Chain A
Amino acid sequence: MHPLLKMILQRIALGLFTLFAISLVVFLAVELLPGDLAEQILGQSATPETVAAFRAELGLNMPAHVRYLDWLVGIVQGDFGRSLANNREIAELISVRLGNTLFLACYAAAIAVPLSISLGLLAALLRGGIFDRVINIVTLSSVSFPEYFVAYILLLFLSVRMSMFPSIADFGSEASLLEMMYRTFLPALTLVLVVTAHMMRMTRTAIVNLLAQPYIEMARLKGASPARIIVRHALPNALAPIINVVALNLAYLITGVVIVEVVFVYPGLGQLMVDSVASRDIPVVQATCLVFAGVYILLNLVADILSIATNPRLLHGR
């Protein structure tokens, strides 16, 4: 088998195993409850009979490993069970909201990734200069801001003071793409500002480290133009770290989205999760947690595979 293919298959197996481990953690965490789910929900005042009936309804009479397998098989078939709060199908609750959250994350990523990579490259080329220093201070500060601080500042200036964008990012079911992009511009911009700083810093570091390598010195000495050095010599080797940074930050987007969705009242998965935590709707929290973790692992997996596949040393055999 080609070594590249073997490596990729290994990574996929590892990703599946991690997902399995997480499903186990998410399931077992509930077992830590003092008493069990039925007692927790019905409270102290419930009679033993009601607790027993409810327990039977939730299937809590069966041993934990049977319930775990049931739960897992259900999820693989797209059945997440029912919400405790409103008895609706969780799969149905999640599917629409996951779409919304992914839309927002992709929207932010489409702006943030090209922006931060080009700014990072620029900072690396002009390092030590005034541009580099300004970028350094700006990024260090924006890493230290709570997400909702950025969100509310944008809200205050762009929405309230200048009324350029709506402050509530809720769109109906039949909004056009352009309308959706306009309505979700502020949450997307918040996410862009939050992740760009980190991505840019890491891109800059990756390139600066590479530029110190002997083979870059060699290229410079033989008279290659700066643009050629960057594009032909440095970039192929810098791709792997840059891809990893991008994936790490996209994964961060997935969790950062929780706060931003709450600020802008965006009907996404994060908002659903926070509401469910507050009302202790455990099955919904488990399901959203698993879906988020799945997306997170998938992103990391894609990054892993891409960085292996673009590594020049692995592409050309010995």
Chain B
Amino acid sequence: MKIGVLKDAPKTAILGLVIILIYAVLGIFAGQIAPHGETEIVGMEFEQWGGEFLLGTDNLGRDMLSRLIYGARNSVGIALATTALAFSIGSVLGLLAATLGGWVDQFLSRFVDMLIAIPALLFALLLLTIFGTGIVNMIGVIAVLEMTRVFRLTRAVAMNVVVMDYVQAARLRGEGLWWQIRAEILPNIAAPLVAEFGLRFCFVFLAVSALSFLGLGIQPPTADWGSMVRANAALITFGDITPLLPAAAIAVLTISINFVVDWVLHCASGLKD
């Protein structure tokens, strides 16, 4: 069954899946694959490509290739954790709002409306000023801001299911709230939520890398793609493309995820060409 689905997938989706797999392997086995340590200073600053250091060295003389590989673990891992957090908060609140209705729904919806009225990046900057910059704060701030989008989607799709007869039946025969959510509602809204997870991950990933690029997110010496671009940006003025590599790594991953999400949405909506 699984193989059959994959066989019908468009080429872009397969390409996307393969690339995501490569990133996952690089991230998980970064310690074994990378030729040098993450923060190990191995040579002069800004060494050329080739020779011992395949992609040269960075502004402090650390191996660029190794840091790129470790970046797959750090940047993607942190974005994944943030998305998971945003998703758990957003979907639980959304499901509660849809199932309970009444003042719970009103309160949560108005609260989310208020958060959404402010552009996310601005709000993130404001909160980071107050709580101070750093990884934990950044994860919290971005998770809360992205939670609002997940909440809206979950609430909207769950609303359509809550009014179904079988949910009413479950409620009438006295099933608890948790059982209603888990057994009756969740299986019916899983497909849009999975696609949303992919899209949210892209947004979170870009937001994290933007903040790190601005020097307000993941802090050195942790190898992270966003801050690596900033740290090595001076090389661009000499016509060297090395600082673009981490940015390209981000772009390739988000494009691949978009390809896969496109395909999942296409399957979920039941459309055939």
Q: B239 on the interface (CB 8 Å rule)?
A: yes
**B interface residues (Cβ-Cβ under 8 A, vs A):** 114, 117-123, 125-133, 202, 206, 209-210, 213-216, 226, 229, 233, 236-239, 241, 243-244, 247-248, 250-251, 254-255, 257-259, 262
Bound state CA distance, A155 and B226, in angstroms?
17
The answer, among B120, B130, B250, for a CB contact under 8 Å with A146, is: B250
Q: Which residue of B lies closest to A30 (CB)?
A: B130
CA distance A21 to B210 in the complex (A): 27
Task: List 26 interface pairs A-B (beta carbons < 8 Å), by A numbering.
Answer: A22-B118, A25-B114, A140-B262, A144-B202, A146-B226, A147-B210, A148-B247, A156-B241, A160-B239, A252-B119, A255-B120, A258-B214, A262-B213, A263-B233, A273-B125, A274-B125, A274-B215, A277-B128, A277-B129, A277-B133, A278-B215, A280-B132, A286-B126, A292-B122, A293-B118, A297-B117
Residues on A with C-beta less than 8 A from B248 are 149
In the complex, the chain B residue whose C-beta lies closest to that of A148 is B213
Shortest B211–chain A CB gap in Å is: 10
Please, how many angstroms separate the alpha-carbon atoms of A254 and B122 in the complex? Answer: 10
Q: Kindly state whether residue A296 has any CB partner on chain B within 8 Å.
A: yes
**Complex Cα spacing A30 to B129, Å:** 9
Check if A278 sits within 8 Å of B216, measured CB to CB.
Answer: yes
B214 partner residues in chain A, CB cutoff 8 A: 258-259, 262, 274, 277
Decide if A289 touches B126 in the complex (CB within 8 Å): yes
Is A76 at the interface (CB under 8 A from chain B)? no
Q: Which residues of A contact B (CB under 8 A)?
A: 18, 21-22, 25-26, 29-30, 32-33, 140-141, 143-149, 152-153, 155-156, 160-161, 167, 251-252, 254-255, 258-259, 262-263, 273-274, 276-278, 280-282, 285-286, 289, 292-293, 296-297
Q: State how many angstroms separate the Cβ of B128 from the closest Cβ of chain A.
A: 6
The closest CB in chain A to the CB of B127 belongs to A29
A282 to B130, CA, bound (A): 7
A274 to B213, CA, bound (A): 11
B239 to chain A, nearest CB (A): 5
Q: Which residues of A contact B262 (CB under 8 A)?
A: 140
Asked if residues A29 and B130 are in contact (CB atoms below 8 Å), the reply is: yes
Residues of B within 8 A of A161 (CB): 239
